[in-house]
Amino acid sequence: MKIPIIGKGKYILITAKYKTGVILNNDGSPYLGDGQDYFLVKENKENAVSFAKSKVLNDDTIEILLYDGNGQFLEVFRPD
């Protein structure tokens, strides 16, 4: 899986299973390769962080990985 490069000022969210680390598509199915929708883009960090925290609060089986628009890992949000 490649982390997309989308440019400065935008943020990428990728969902994974918390216990296994399996990357999930946006529909919740396991990511199997290129051509699948496995990431979301948010226009600013505040929106990205808020979205990630809300998702893991409502589903304790996932974690959300946050990257900047240049593909640099920033943070992981977990239910614990």
- Residue 15 forms part of a structural domain: yes
Using the predicted structure, report yes or no on whether residue 35 has a pLDDT greater than 80.
Answer: no
2-19 pLDDT tens trace: 888 898 899 999 999 999
- Residue 29 forms part of a structural domain: yes
- Residue 44 forms part of a structural domain: no
Measured CA to CA, the distance from residue 62 to residue 66 in angstroms comes to 13
Instruction: Note the pTM of the prediction, 2 decimals.
Output: 0.92
- Residue 43 forms part of a structural domain: no
Give residue 34's pLDDT band: very low, low, confident or very high (50, 70, 90): confident
- Residue 45 forms part of a structural domain: no
Res 73: pLDDT: 97
Instruction: Quote the domain boundaries for residue 68.
Output: 1-37+51-80
- Residue 1 forms part of a structural domain: yes
- Counted domains in the chain: 1
Planar angle of CA 38, 40, 42, nearest 5 degrees: 165
40-51 pLDDT tens trace: 999 999 999 999
Q: How many Å separate Cα 22 from the centre of its chain?
A: 12
